[in-house]
């Protein structure tokens, strides 16, 4: 299963099957899932806490550490997908709409190579 040949629908089905097989639907309400996203995001951030910018490449080249980071990233994605399932949101449409809004908010010609708003 790789990004090249996997649809969001397939991922949604995978997560839904996992949840249903354990009868965890009762725990998967929007409050719990949104909190779980934040908790897993914090676990992801822990791997970078106190790491200086110049040390990031070294951290990411450490096989064990990278595997743990990927694991936490997948945890975040699992909960995002689970919340998508619970809310009945079309994630692809929502993401495309957000990118469209961000493109208007941050026009490429004004934000080329910078994340802050230039002085008018
Ligand atoms: Mg985790």
- Three-class SS state of 28: coil
The answer to whether residue 3 sits within a structural domain is no
| CA of 81 relative to ligand 1 center, distance in Å | 15
Q: How many domains does the chain have?
A: 1
| CA of 65 relative to ligand 1 center, distance in Å | 13
The CATH number given to whatever domain includes residue 103 is 1.10.287.1080
Find out whether 29 and 92 touch, Cβ atoms under 8 Å.
no
| CA of 34 relative to ligand 1 center, distance in Å | 14
pLDDT per residue as tens digits for the range 25-37: 999 999 999 999 9
| CA of 45 relative to ligand 1 center, distance in Å | 11
The answer to whether residue 63 sits within a structural domain is yes
Return the H-helix or E-strand segment holding 5.
Answer: none
| CA of 40 relative to ligand 1 center, distance in Å | 5
> What pTM value is reported for the model?
0.91
| CA of 19 relative to ligand 1 center, distance in Å | 16
Rounded to whole angstroms, how far apart are CA atoms 19 and 79?
Answer: 11
Q: The tokens of 92 are what?
A: 């692809």
The answer to whether residue 57 sits within a structural domain is yes
Q: What is the pLDDT along the chain (120 residues), one digit of tens a residue?
A: 999 999 999 999 999 999 999 999 999 999 999 999 999 999 999 999 999 999 999 999 999 999 999 999 999 999 999 999 999 999 999 999 999 999 999 999 999 988 777 776
The answer to whether residue 75 sits within a structural domain is yes
The answer to whether residue 119 sits within a structural domain is no
The answer to whether residue 61 sits within a structural domain is yes
The answer to whether residue 41 sits within a structural domain is yes
Domain that holds residue 106: 8-111
Other CB atoms within 10 A of residue 72 CB: 17
The answer to whether residue 64 sits within a structural domain is yes
Among 44, 45, 48, CA closest to 57 = 48
Rounded to whole angstroms, how far apart are CA atoms 101 and 89?
Answer: 18
| CA of 47 relative to ligand 1 center, distance in Å | 11
Rounded to whole angstroms, how far apart are CA atoms 82 and 18?
Answer: 10
77 Cα distance to chain centroid: 5
| CA of 36 relative to ligand 1 center, distance in Å | 9
């Amino acid at each position: 299963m790789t990004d090249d040949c996997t649809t969001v629908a397939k991922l949604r089905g995978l997560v839904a099957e996992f949840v249903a097989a354990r009868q965890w639907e009762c725990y998967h309400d929007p409050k719990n899932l949104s909190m779980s996203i934040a908790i897993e995001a914090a676990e992801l951030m822990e791997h970078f806490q106190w790491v200086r910018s110049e040390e990031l490449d070294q951290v990411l080249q450490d096989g064990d550490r990278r595997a743990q980071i990927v694991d936490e990233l997948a945890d975040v994605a699992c909960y995002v997908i689970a919340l998508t399932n619970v809310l009945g949101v079309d994630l692809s449409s929502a993401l495309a709409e957000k990118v469209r809004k961000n493109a208007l908010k941050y026009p490429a010609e004004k934000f080329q190579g910078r994340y802050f708003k230039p002085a008018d």
